[in-house]
Amino acid sequence: MNETFQNVGRFLVSLIFFSLFIPGCEKIEESVVPSVPFSYTINVNLYPEVNITGNSIYIPNIGFGGVIVYCETPGSFNAYDATCTHEVNKSCKVKNEGVTGTCSCCGSEYIFIGGGFPSSGPAQEGLRQYYTSFVNGMLRIYNP
């Protein structure tokens, strides 16, 4: 009987470990923005503004046109390429303003809540989304 409890205990510890430390396997949708493989890690404690729900920051020189990191809730982040999906070139950047962003070229506005989809302007597709993994204050943003 005692051995059974030990086996169940090991199973539960393993299950908890894998559920906490293995990132989700959800598929990121394809995009008109070119796919660029990268992996970048930031310490979110060094960016206090991104720890507040509804705030976003821009990180240059990763992805295709830089990355916008949006705080959905404390500890839950979305990452989007800052390249407009209507004007697909590195000079047409989406400037982040909290929960929204606006393309510097065509004026398309995107909402970062729930997928980075356009809310106005000529853009028809959402921003390219990247994978994120958050553990112990470290946010990994990556595109395999």
Q: Does the predicted TM-score (pTM) go above 0.75? A: yes
pLDDT band at 14 (very low <50, low <70, confident <90, very high): very low
Please name the residue ranges forming H helices in the chain: 2-21
Tokens of 31: 């995009």
Q: Which of 92, 82, 30 lies closest to 61, judged by CA?
A: 82
| Superfamily name with CATH number, domain 26-143 | Rieske [2Fe-2S] iron-sulphur domain (2.102.10.10)
CA distance 69 to 49: 11
pLDDT digits (tens, 9 = 90+) for 33-50: 999 999 999 999 999 999
Tokens of 94: 């989406």
Please, what sign has the CA dihedral across residues 78, 84, 89, 93? negative
Please, what sign has the CA dihedral across residues 47, 64, 126, 142? negative
Domain range annotation of the chain: 26-143
